[in-house]
C-alpha cells in the first residue's frame, strides 16, 4: 500500500538522518538567537539566571522546600556557605534529550522521554553562569515488548560554569515510537485520532481513604536537614522515607514550563513562536519541531500546536488516552527523596530515573528508595576517598503500578573525614558512558 | 486534613448572606497590601520580556530586536507597556479565599497609566493595595461584590506606571451552574477561512516611521487584529508570562491549607485539594467551578489590546493610558476580532510640556459576535519638532 510505503520511507529517512547526527554538536534547545545551522560554538551560553529567587522557584517546581535551596541565610550556615540549587535545575540550561532529525511537518513518530541519568561534580550556586554542550551519542533499536519498533536516541549533555569547568553531565534517552496512523508526518490525520491508544485509562477517582493516605504521606514527609547522616550509620537495606505527590494536574504541567519558557529559542533561531500570529505562521509553514500542528478535534482549527501532554483534546495525537506528565519533570523529583534522606551534608554524585509508563493527569506518585550498596570510591585522577551509598529508587502510581525506576550514588559524610570534599576532583569532564552501562545499577 | 465545609448538602446556597459576609470580611482588608496576588517578574530581564512577547505573539521589532531599539528615539531595548502585567496583575480577591463561597471571581476592568518605559535590565517592583470593596450590580438577579486594587509600578526605583483593577465576584452555585451557556466553539470552514484571512492580512508593526499627530484624523481605523483560536499554548504562555511561582502539587497542598476558600474537589478525580482558580483552566474540571470551557486569564486580553495600539502608533509614540472593560470571559477555542478607532485629538500640557494626544476607542468581539472587551486609550504621538519626552510627569502617583 502507498500509505505503508510512505510511512516506511519516512521512518527509514528519519533513522538515516538521525544516525548521521551522532557525535555532532546538537542545535536543539539553544538560547534564542543562537545559530541553528550548526555554525555556533561547541559550548554555548544558557540564559538560565541562577539568582536566589529563581533557585527558590525551581525547587518549588519539583516540590522541594528545603531551606538549603530557598533561604540564603540558612545556606550560608550550611557546609556549602551559600544557598545552593538542586542539581537537576540544569535541565533549564539545556534539555537533556535529543529528538533527532526533523523536516517540515515532521516524521511519524511519537516522542517520549525514556530517562535521564545525571552525574554531578559540584553543587550549583547562585550567580553561576551555565554553558552547555549537547551531542547525540547513540541511536538504538531494542526489541519492544509490544512487538512494534521503537528507537532510543541517547544524548550526552555537559554543563559548565563560566570557567568551562564541568559541573555536571546528563545522559538523556528519548524514545521515538513509529506511529503508522500518523501516515508520513508527525501529526496523524484527524480521522485516525483515537484509533491507536497506547493505554486504556480514565481519570482515576479517589476514595476518601485513598486521599487520606496521600495526605498522610505529604504531611509525614521527613527531611533530615542540617543533621549529618554518617556513612558509618547507613546499612544496606535501609529504606529512605518515601515522598508523595498528590494527583498530577494542569498546574503541575505549568510548573516545569514556568521556568523553561523563554530560555530556549524558536525553531528558526529567534524567539519561540508559541502564541497567536507567529505560531500560526510557523505551523502553516510546517515548522514546529518536535510536535508540529494538527487539526483540533473540537474547534477544527487546522494549525493547533502540539500540546499533547496537557490538552485532553490533543493527547490522543500521541496515542495517549489522557493528558500526561513530562518525563523530564518526573526525572527531577527524586532528588528530594535523596536530599531528605541524606541531609544537607550529603552530595548526590549520580542519579537516574527511567520512565516505565506515563503518569496521567489525575495520577498520584509515591517514590521510594532503598540502600543497595555501600562503597568507597575515588574519582579518576584523584586519591580523595569518597564514602558512597548506592540507592535504588522506584516510583508508583495510585494503582500500585511502577511508573519509573532509578539509582543514585550519594556521597555521605563520615565521622572521621567529615563532609564530602567538593568539587569532585575532575580535571575535565569524563568521557561518554554508554547507554548499556549508565542504565545499569553496577555503574552507580 | 479534610475540609468539612467542602461537603455540600444539596441546598441552593444563601447567596445574599455569602456576599454580605464577603463584603464585611474584605472591608477589613481595605488599605492593606494585596498579598493574595501572585508576584511576577522582579527584573525586566530578557527572559521575562521575551516570555511576555511570546505569550502575546508580539513581533514588534521595537521590543524583539535590540539593534532596532538602539536606533530608536528611546536609545535601547524596552519592555512593551503590557509588561507591567508580568510584574503584577491588579486583581485582589479580598477575603474570597478565606472561607468557601459559592461564587466565581472575574477580573472586570483594568485601567492603566504609563509614565515612562521600562527598559531592559531594570529592577522592577509593584505595590498593590485593596482600595475599595463595594456591592456591584445585580447579575442573574444576584448581588455581586466588586473589589478594587490599586497598583503602582516602579522600574529602577522610579515610578513608571499605575493600575487599577476591579474584580467582580459573581454568586454562582458551583457544580450546578455555569457562568455562560456555551461550549468550546467548533468552527465552520468559512469561519476558519475568515480567521486565516485576518491573520494573513495582519500588517507589520509601524516601526520607525513616525505617525505624526497631524497625520491622524478622527475616525481613522486601526488595522483589525485577530487573536485565536485560543489553544492551551496561548493559555500556558500567558501564565508563564505572568511570571508567578508555580510550585509542585505537594507544596500547593500545603499552601491551600491556609486558603480554605480556594479549595474545590477536582471534577474528574474527586481530589479534594484542587485550587478552584486553577480548575477553571482545566477541561477536566472547569465545569465544577462554573466554566463551560477552560478560561483564559483576563489580563492577557488587556495585553493584547495594548499590543494592537503599540503596533499602530509606531516606535516614537507612547501609550499613555488604557482602560479596558472585560465584558465576557474568553474561553479556550475562542477567537478575538479586535479593532480600534480614533475618536478625539487634543493637546495635553503636563509639567509645562506639550503632548500631542489621541484618544482611541478599542474593542474586541468573539466568533459569536459577542463583545468580549471594550475600552479607551490615550496615546501620545510625535509631531514634527516635538519628540516625546519621558517621563511624562516628574511626580507620578497612582
What are the tens digits of pLDDT across the range A178-211? Answer: 999 999 999 999 999 988 898 999 999 999 999 9
Give domain limits for chain B.
4-381
Q: How near does any CA of chain A get to the CA of B23, in Å? A: 30
Q: Note the pLDDT of residue B9.
A: 56
Reported as a pLDDT band with limits 50, 70 and 90, residue A34 is confident
Lowest mean pLDDT among A39-48, A303-312, B330-339, B377-386: A39-48
Q: How near does any CA of chain B get to the CA of A266, in Å? A: 10
What beta strand segments (E) does chain B contain?
103-114, 124-139, 142-155, 158-171, 221-227, 263-264, 274-275, 318-326, 336-350, 353-365, 371-381
Q: Which of B235, B248, B336, B367 to mutate to test the interface with A (most CBs of A within 10 A)?
A: B248
Residue B225: DSSP 8-state: E
Q: Does A302 touch chain B (CB under 8 A)?
A: yes
Residue in B closest to A276 by C-alpha = B57
Reported as a pLDDT band with limits 50, 70 and 90, residue A383 is confident
CATH 3.10.129.10 fits A2-443, yes or no: yes
Residue B335: DSSP 8-state: -
CB contact under 8 A, A218 and B246: no
CB contact under 8 A, A211 and B272: yes
Residues of chain A numbered 52-91 and touching chain B (CB < 8 Å): 53, 57, 60-63, 65
Q: What DSSP string runs through A83-102?
A: --B-GGGGGGTS-S------
Q: How near does any CA of chain A get to the CA of B266, in Å? A: 9
- In chain A, what percentage of residues exceed pLDDT 70? 97
Q: Note the pLDDT of residue A41.
A: 77
Residue A409, H or E segment: strand A402-411
Query: Which among A206, A247, A275 has the least Cβ separation from residue B234?
Result: A275
Q: Note the pLDDT of residue A424.
A: 66
| Residue B78 contacts residue B120 (beta carbons within 8 Å) | yes
Residues of chain B numbered 253-272 and touching chain A (CB < 8 Å): 253-254, 266, 268-272
Q: Note the pLDDT of residue A423.
A: 67
CB contact under 8 A, A215 and B231: no
Q: Note the pLDDT of residue A145.
A: 65
| Residue B326 contacts residue B90 (beta carbons within 8 Å) | no
| Interhelix angle A52-61/A250-260, nearest 10 degrees | 150
CB contact under 8 A, A362 and B187: no
| Residue pairs spanning A and B at CB distance below 8 A | 201
Q: Cβ neighbours of residue B315 under 8 Å, at least 6 residues apart?
A: B62, B68, B72, B73, B74, B206, B207, B208, B210
Q: Note the pLDDT of residue A265.
A: 86
Q: Does B231 touch chain A (CB under 8 A)?
A: yes
Q: Which of A53, A56, A262 to mutate to test the interface with B (most CBs of B within 10 A)?
A: A262
CA B303: distance to chain centroid?
6
Q: Note the pLDDT of residue A429.
A: 78
Q: How near does any CA of chain B get to the CA of A411, in Å? A: 27
Residue A147 pLDDT exceeds 90 = no
CA distance A265 to A276: 17
| Mean of all residue pLDDT scores within chain A | 93
Q: Note the pLDDT of residue B5.
A: 36
CB contact under 8 A, B199 and A277: yes
Q: Does A401 touch chain B (CB under 8 A)?
A: no
Q: Note the pLDDT of residue A425.
A: 58
CATH 3.10.129.10 fits B4-381, yes or no: yes
Q: Note the pLDDT of residue B4.
A: 36
Neighboring chain B residues of A299 at a CB cutoff of 8 Å: 184-187, 229, 333
Neighboring chain A residues of B278 at a CB cutoff of 8 Å: 249-251
Q: Does A209 touch chain B (CB under 8 A)?
A: no
Residue in B closest to A219 by C-alpha = B254
Residues of chain A numbered 340-369 and touching chain B (CB < 8 Å): 361-362
Q: How near does any CA of chain A get to the CA of B267, in Å? A: 9
Q: Note the pLDDT of residue B398.
A: 56
CB contact under 8 A, B269 and A205: yes
Residue B260: DSSP 8-state: G
CB contact under 8 A, B227 and A65: no
pLDDT tens for residues A79-132? 999 999 999 999 999 999 999 999 999 999 999 999 999 999 999 999 999 999
Q: Which of B42, B79, B271, B311 to mutate to test the interface with A (most CBs of A within 10 A)?
A: B271
CB contact under 8 A, A274 and B54: yes
Q: Note the pLDDT of residue B3.
A: 36
Q: How near does any CA of chain B get to the CA of A412, in Å? A: 27
Q: Is beta strand B318-326 parallel, antiparallel or unpaired with respect to B336-350?
A: unpaired
pTM confidence score: 0.95
Q: Cβ neighbours of residue B206 under 8 Å, at least 6 residues apart?
A: B311, B312, B313, B314, B315
Q: Does A213 touch chain B (CB under 8 A)?
A: no
Taking only the tens of pLDDT, chain B with its 398 residues reads: 333 333 345 788 999 999 999 999 999 999 999 999 999 999 999 999 999 999 999 999 999 999 999 999 999 999 999 999 999 999 999 999 999 999 999 999 999 999 999 999 999 999 999 999 999 999 999 999 999 999 999 998 899 999 999 999 999 999 999 999 999 999 999 999 999 999 999 999 999 999 999 999 999 999 999 999 999 999 999 999 999 999 999 999 999 999 999 999 999 999 999 999 999 999 999 999 999 999 999 999 999 999 999 999 999 999 999 999 999 999 999 999 999 999 999 999 999 999 999 999 999 999 999 999 999 999 999 999 999 999 999 888 65
Reported as a pLDDT band with limits 50, 70 and 90, residue A393 is very high
Helices (H), A185-286: 208-219, 250-260, 276-284
- Read off the pLDDT of each residue in A164-168 and give the average, rounded to a whole number: 93
CA distance A167 to A184: 41
| Residue A11 contacts residue A107 (beta carbons within 8 Å) | yes
CA B259: distance to chain centroid?
24
Q: How near does any CA of chain A get to the CA of B217, in Å? A: 28
Query: Which among A53, A206, A258 has the least Cβ separation from residue B240?
Result: A258
Neighboring chain B residues of A58 at a CB cutoff of 8 Å: none
In the numeric block, the cell 479593532 is attached to B339
Q: In degrees, to the nearest 5, what angle opens at C-alpha B39 toward C-alphas B124 and B326?
A: 100
Query: Which among B226, B239, B268 has the least Cβ separation from residue A254?
Result: B239
Query: Which among A62, A247, A277 has the least Cβ separation from residue B271?
Result: A247
Q: Note the pLDDT of residue A135.
A: 96
CB contact under 8 A, A301 and B284: no
Q: Note the pLDDT of residue A38.
A: 73
Query: Which among B1, B233, B249 has the least Cβ separation from residue A246?
Result: B249
Q: How near does any CA of chain B get to the CA of A60, in Å? A: 5
Give domain limits for chain A.
2-443
Q: How near does any CA of chain A get to the CA of B338, in Å? A: 13
Residue A426 pLDDT exceeds 80 = no
Q: Note the pLDDT of residue A291.
A: 77
Q: Note the pLDDT of residue B284.
A: 92
SS3 A279: helix
Neighboring chain B residues of A257 at a CB cutoff of 8 Å: 236, 240, 246
CA distance B116 to B104: 35
Neighboring chain A residues of B226 at a CB cutoff of 8 Å: 277
CB contact under 8 A, A305 and B236: no
Q: Note the pLDDT of residue A155.
A: 98
- Read off the pLDDT of each residue in A380-409 and give the average, rounded to a whole number: 94
Amino acid at each position: 500500500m502507498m500509505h505503508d510505503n510512505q510511512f516506511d520511507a519516512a521512518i527509514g529517512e528519519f533513522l538515516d538522518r538521525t544516525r548521521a547526527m551522532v557525535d555532532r554538536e546538537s542545535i536543539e534547545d539553544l538560547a534564542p538567537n543562537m545559530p541553528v545551522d550548526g555554525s555556533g560554538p561547541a559550548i554555548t551560553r544558557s540564559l538560565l539566571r541562577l539568582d536566589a529567587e529563581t533557585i527558590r522557584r525551581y525547587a518549588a517546581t519539583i516540590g522541594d522546600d528545603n531551606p538549603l535551596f530557598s533561604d540564603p541565610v540558612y545556606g550560608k550556615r550550611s557546609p556549602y556557605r551559600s544557598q545552593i540549587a538542586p542539581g537537576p535545575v540544569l535541565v533549564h540550561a539545556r534539555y537533556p534529550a535529543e529528538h533527532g532529525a526533523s523536516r517540515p511537518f515532521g516524521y511519524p513518530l511519537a516522542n517520549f522521554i525514556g530517562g535521564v541519568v545525571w552525574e554531578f561534580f559540584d553543587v550549583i550556586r547562585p550567580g553561576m553562569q551555565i554553558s552547555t554542550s549537547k551531542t547525540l551519542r547513540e541511536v538504538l533499536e531494542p526489541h519492544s515488548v509490544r512487538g512494534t519498533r521503537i528507537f532510543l536516541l541517547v544524548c550526552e549533555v555537559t554543563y559548565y560554569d563560566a570557567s568551562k569547568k564541568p559541573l555536571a553531565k546528563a545522559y538523556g534517552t528519548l524514545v521515538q515510537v513509529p506511529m503508522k496512523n500518523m501516515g508520513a508526518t508527525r501529526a496523524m490525520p484527524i480521522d485516525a485520532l483515537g484509533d491507536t491508544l497506547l493505554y486504556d485509562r480514565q481519570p482515576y477517582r479517589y476514595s476518601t481513604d485513598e486521599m487520606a493516605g496521600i495526605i498522610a504521606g505529604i504531611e509525614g514527609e521527613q527531611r533530615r536537614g542540617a543533621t549529618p547522616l554518617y556513612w558509618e550509620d547507613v546499612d544496606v537495606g535501609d529504606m529512605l522515607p518515601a515522598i508523595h505527590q498528590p494527583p498530577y494536574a494542569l498546574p503541575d504541567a505549568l510548573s516545569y514550563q514556568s521556568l523553561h519558557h523563554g530560555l530556549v529559542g524558536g525553531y528558526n533561531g529567534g524567539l519561540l513562536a508559541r502564541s497567536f500570529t507567529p505560531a500560526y505562521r510557523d505551523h502553516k509553514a510546517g515548522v514546529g519541531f518536535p510536535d508540529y500542528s494538527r487539526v483540533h478535534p473540537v474547534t477544527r482549527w487546522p494549525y493547533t500546536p502540539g500540546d499533547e501532554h496537557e490538552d485532553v483534546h490533543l493527547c490522543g495525537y500521541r496515542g495517549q488516552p489522557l493528558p500526561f506528565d513530562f518525563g523530564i519533570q518526573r526525572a527531577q523529583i527524586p532528588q528530594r527523596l535523596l536530599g531528605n534522606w541524606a541531609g544537607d551534608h550529603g552530595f548526590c554524585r549520580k542519579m537516574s530515573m527511567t520512565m516505565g509508563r506515563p503518569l496521567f493527569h489525575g495520577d498520584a506518585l509515591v517514590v521510594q528508595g532503598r540502600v543497595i550498596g555501600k562503597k568507597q570510591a575515588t574519582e579518576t585522577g584523584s586519591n580523595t576517598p569518597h564514602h558512597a551509598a548506592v540507592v535504588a529508587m522506584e516510583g508508583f502510581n495510585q494503582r500500585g503500578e511502577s511508573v519509573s525506576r532509578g539509582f543514585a550514588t550519594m556521597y555521605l559524610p563520615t565521622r572521621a573525614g567529615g563532609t564530602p570534599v567538593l568539587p569532585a576532583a575532575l580535571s575535565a569532564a569524563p568521557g561518554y558512558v554508554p547507554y548499556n552501562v549508565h542504565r545499569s545499577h553496577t555503574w552507580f | 486534613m479534610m475540609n468539612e465545609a467542602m461537603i455540600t448538602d444539596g441546598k441552593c446556597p444563601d447567596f445574599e448572606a455569602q456576599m454580605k459576609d464577603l463584603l464585611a470580611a474584605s472591608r477589613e482588608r481595605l488599605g492593606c497590601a494585596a498579598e493574595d496576588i501572585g508576584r511576577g517578574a522582579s527584573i525586566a530581564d530578557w527572559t521575562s520580556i521575551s516570555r511576555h512577547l511570546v505569550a502575546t505573539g508580539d513581533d514588534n521589532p521595537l521590543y524583539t530586536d535590540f539593534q532596532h531599539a538602539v536606533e530608536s528615539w528611546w536609545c535601547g531595548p524596552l519592555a512593551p507597556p503590557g509588561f507591567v502585567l508580568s510584574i503584577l496583575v491588579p486583581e485582589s480577591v479580598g477575603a474570597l479565599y478565606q472561607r468557601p463561597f459559592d461564587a466565581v471571581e472575574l477580573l472586570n476592568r483594568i485601567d492603566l497609566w504609563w509614565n515612562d518605559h521600562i527598559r531592559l535590565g531594570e529592577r522592577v517592583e509593584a505595590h498593590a493595595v485593596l482600595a475599595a470593596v463595594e456591592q456591584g450590580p445585580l447579575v442573574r438577579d444576584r448581588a455581586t461584590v466588586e473589589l478594587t486594587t490599586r497598583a503602582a509600578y516602579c522600574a529602577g526605583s522610579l515610578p513608571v506606571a499605575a493600575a487599577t483593577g476591579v474584580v467582580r465576584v459573581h454568586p454562582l452555585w458551583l457544580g450546578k451552574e455555569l457562568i455562560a451557556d456555551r461550549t468550546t466553539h467548533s468552527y465552520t470552514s468559512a469561519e476558519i477561512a475568515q480567521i486565516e484571512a485576518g491573520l494573513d492580512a495582519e500588517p507589520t508593526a509601524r516601526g520607525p516611521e513616525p505617525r505624526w499627530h497631524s497625520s491622524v484624523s478622527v475616525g481613522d481605523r486601526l488595522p483589525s487584529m485577530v487573536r485565536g483560536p485560543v489553544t492551551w499554548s496561548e493559555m500556558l504562555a500567558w501564565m508563564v508570562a505572568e511570571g508567578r511561582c508555580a510550585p509542585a502539587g505537594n507544596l500547593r497542598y500545603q499552601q491551600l491549607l491556609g486558603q480554605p476558600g480556594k479549595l474545590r474537589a477536582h471534577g474528574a478525580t474527586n481530589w479534594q485539594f484542587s485550587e478552584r482558580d486553577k480548575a477553571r483552566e482545566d477541561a477536566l474540571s472547569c465545569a465544577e467551578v462554573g466554566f463551560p470551557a477552560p478560561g483564559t486569564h483576563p489580563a492577557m486580553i488587556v495585553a493584547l489590546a495594548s499590543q494592537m495600539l503599540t503596533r499602530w502608533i509606531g516606535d516614537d509614540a507612547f501609550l499613555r493610558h488604557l482602560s479596558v472593560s472585560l465584558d465576557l470571559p474568553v474561553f479556550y477555542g475562542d477567537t478575538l476580532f479586535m479593532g480600534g478607532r480614533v475618536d478625539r485629538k487634543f493637546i495635553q500640557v503636563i509639567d509645562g510640556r506639550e503632548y500631542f494626544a489621541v484618544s482611541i476607542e478599542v474593542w474586541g468581539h468573539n466568533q459569536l459576535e459577542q463583545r468580549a472587551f471594550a475600552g479607551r486609550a490615550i496615546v501620545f504621538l510625535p509631531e514634527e519638532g516635538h519628540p516625546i519626552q519621558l517621563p511624562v510627569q516628574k511626580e507620578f502617583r497612582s
